Every structure is written in C-alpha cells, then in structure tokens.
C-alpha cells in the first residue's frame, strides 16, 4: 500500500478505479443487493456493503490515509441480476422497470461508502456498455438508454440526495466510438448531470478523446481503464509509456491501469482476463508472500511522482514523429514536469527551452524520463 499510494515511500497514485460490487478481477461475482433467484427487491431493503468490510473498505481507508488526495472513480460491472433482462450478472440489459431502483442503488452505494469513510469522487454508469461478456459480470447499455437513465433517473436521484459533488462520467468504453458520448452530451438535459466522458484503450485511437473535447470543450475527459499483459511481449514498456503521454496530450485528466495487484497468473479473476499484468506482482508461492513492482509501476511513477493533483498540461513541441513523444505539466507550485519517451534504440540528445532558458539532456535508447524544474525568473 505504501509503494502504491504514499508520495514519500512510493509513487503516490492519486486516482483509483473501484468496482461497485464484483468485476472480472474479483474473487467472485456479487452485487450489494443479491436475492434468491426469482425474487426482486425494488425497495432495496436487502442492500448492504457489509461484505466489503472484510477486505475492500479497510484497504481503501488505508489508501486514503496514505494519500488524502486520492480520488476514487467507482463503476458497476453489473447491477443486481433481478434488475436485468436475463436475470443474470453476466450479459443482459437493464429492464425499464429497474431504472429507478438502479439509480437508488447507486445513491445508496455512494452514501454507504461515505459513511464507511471512503468518499466516492465520481461514478460511471456501466463498465464497457457496448460489450456483453460471456464469463464475467457485464451488461449492454446503448447510448439512448444511458442518456435516458442519466437524464431522468440517476442525475435527479443524485441531486435529490445531495450528492452533487460526486461526478457522473458517461460512456466508459473504448476509443473506437465517439458517437456514444456525443449522443448524451448533445442532450442538454442529460449533459447537465455529466462531468464528461470516460475512455478505455483497448480499441481505436487515442485521438478520440480530442474529438470529444473539441465537440464539448466544457466537459472533462478521463482515461479510466487500460491493462498491460502477456500479449504485449517486447513492446509492453513502450506501449504503457505511450499511454501516459498520449492520453494526457489528448485531454485526459487521468491515466488509470486496471489491476493494481495480481499474481503471475493474473489472479484473482472471475472470468475475463487471465493474462493481465498488475501494477504490483505478488508471488504467493513463497512464505511469506513476496511482491515486486512491474514495469507499469515505474511508468506510472514518472507521472505520479512529479505531476500532482491540480497540475495543468502546458504546451510542448510534438516530437512523436521524431521518436521523442512527450507531454509537459505545470504544478500548482509553479514547477514544471516534462515526461518523455525515447523510442529509438540509440541515445538521443535534445534541448529543452522554457521561459527564455535552455538545457541539454541525453536520454538512453528505449527509455522513459521525467525532467523537473522550477519555472521562475531566478532559476
């Protein structure tokens, strides 16, 4: 926990993706209102987050103690099965009669977590709404349905419950579709409740984020999920570094890798990915169990150690075509962080110019680096 969330002893991660109930990287499938098959609970009398008190909530409270600036984005992989068309946590769709109960389900979740000492900074309405998994929790939710759900149910329910400070992010799926976000954000009544759009990295091009920004510049963009795994082979480091640089150059306010702590076999997982790589790798075959940071940890640390919450991206020359992709930020204290990747196999010497001053730097081949300085008149 310290190497993940402490800015002093680790990389100080400041944003976290948190499932509302079970997910593909969970030990089992569950929600907070599971009832016997054939029964329904429209009044949500059985709603409870008690099972999270065993492991989940204590871990989240520890993370918040280590980094009080930590922002938690919570996402349902599935609502309770009784709310869905197929009566299952896997696949299916949200029934119309369940729109109001689902909105209250999300309200109850945010309120319960807040009482437990874990404030929820933002939610999304459905993980990967254009995909119906075959062996793990999920649900299809097309754009017209999400628009109606947000506009007429979830948004008003949050407002009525006094949860206006909890942001609602729409979409939460891949770069290959910008029409989904546009369909919701172009509806003024729905857009009133949406802070912006959330994107994943698994398909499409990162420029989709800029497309949405250009269409709706008053709304935010967040990259909320990307995974590393065995499929990346020798390009794993480069791809993760390009994610950090590319998403933030395309207006994302976050870089989130899915699966903070996994073992060598991608466990725990309940269906879904069995080849995913965690930010931390645990070897539970040893006694006591050992852990080690993976390449993702060091890539994320290039940003999280030097770009603090409240920073703004500032202009930097786009040298991606020259093999030196980069992105720059100015922190609230005036310091500047320049994150770059040398994609070439050989060393590269370049010059940084800022505020009338210049410095030369050599970065080794296939290396990511962060340059950090105070942008003032005196140094």
| Catalytically annotated residues | 128, 225
360 — phi, psi (to 5°)?
-100, 145
Is the distance from CB of 113 to CB of 173 less than 8 angstroms? no
- Reference 143, options 202, 107, 190; nearest CA is 190
Answer positive or negative: Cα dihedral of 226, 228, 233, 236. Answer: positive
Q: How far apart are the first and last CA of the chain?
A: 36
Is the distance from CB of 315 to CB of 328 less than 8 angstroms? yes
Q: How many whole angstroms separate alpha carbon 168 and alpha carbon 75? A: 10
Structure tokens at 56: 């989940």
165 Cβ partners below 8 Å, 6+ apart? none
* Lateral strand order in the sheet of 326-330: 312-314, 326-330, 335-342, 367-374
- Reference 1, options 58, 51, 52; nearest CA is 58
Is the distance from CB of 161 to CB of 115 less than 8 angstroms? no
Long-range contacts (CB closer than 8 Å, 24 or more residues apart) made by 265-270: 266/229, 268/25, 268/26, 268/27, 269/24, 269/25, 269/26, 269/136, 270/22, 270/23, 270/24, 270/25, 270/26, 270/27, 270/28, 270/29, 270/136, 270/137
The DSSP 8-state label assigned to residue 357 in this structure reads: E
Q: How many whole angstroms separate alpha carbon 67 and alpha carbon 70? A: 6
């Amino acid at each position: 926990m310290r190497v993940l969330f402490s800015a002093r002893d680790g990389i100080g991660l400041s944003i976290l993706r948190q499932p509302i109930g079970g997910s593909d990287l969970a030990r089992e499938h569950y929600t907070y209102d599971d009832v016997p098959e054939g029964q329904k609970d429209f009044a949500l009398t059985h709603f409870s987050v008690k099972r999270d008190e065993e492991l989940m909530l204590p871990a989240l409270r520890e993370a918040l103690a280590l980094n009080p600036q930590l922002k938690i984005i919570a996402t349902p992989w599935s609502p309770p099965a009784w709310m869905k068309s197929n009566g299952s946590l896997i696949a299916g769709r949200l029934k119309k009669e369940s729109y109001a109960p689902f909105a209250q389900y999300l309200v109850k979740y945010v309120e319960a977590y807040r009482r437990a000492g874990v404030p929820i900074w933002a939610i999304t309405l459905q993980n990967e709404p254009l995909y119906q998994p075959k062996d793990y929790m999920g649900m299809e939710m097309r754009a017209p349905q999400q628009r109606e759900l947000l506009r007429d149910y979830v948004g008003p329910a949050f407002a009525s419950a006094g949860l206006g400070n909890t942001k609602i992010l729409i979409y939460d799926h891949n770069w290959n579709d910008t029409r989904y976000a546009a369909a919701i954000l172009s509806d003024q009544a729905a857009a009133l409740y949406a802070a912006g759009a959330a994107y994943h990295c698994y398909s499409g091009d990162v420029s989709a984020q800029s497309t949405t920004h250009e269409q709706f510049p008053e709304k935010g963009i967040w990259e909320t999920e990307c995974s590393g795994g065995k499929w990346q082979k020798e390009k794993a480091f480069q791809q993760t570094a390009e994610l950090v640089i590319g998403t933030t150059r395309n207006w994302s306010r976050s870089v989130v890798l899915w699966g903070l702590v996994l073992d060598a076999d991608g466990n725990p997982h309940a269906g879904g990915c069995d080849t995913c790589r965690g930010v931390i790798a645990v070897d539970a075959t040893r006694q006591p169990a050992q852990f080690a940071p993976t390449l993702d940890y060091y890539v994320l640390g290039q940003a999280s150690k030097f770009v603090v919450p409240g920073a703004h991206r500032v202009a930097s020359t786009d040298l991606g075509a020259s093999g030196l992709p980069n992105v720059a930020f100015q922190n609230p204290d005036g310091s500047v962080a320049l994150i770059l990747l040398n994609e070439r196999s050989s060393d590269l010497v370049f010059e940084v110019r800022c505020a009338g001053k210049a410095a030369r730097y050599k970065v080794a081949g296939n290396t990511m680096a962060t340059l950090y300085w105070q942008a003032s008149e005196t140094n």
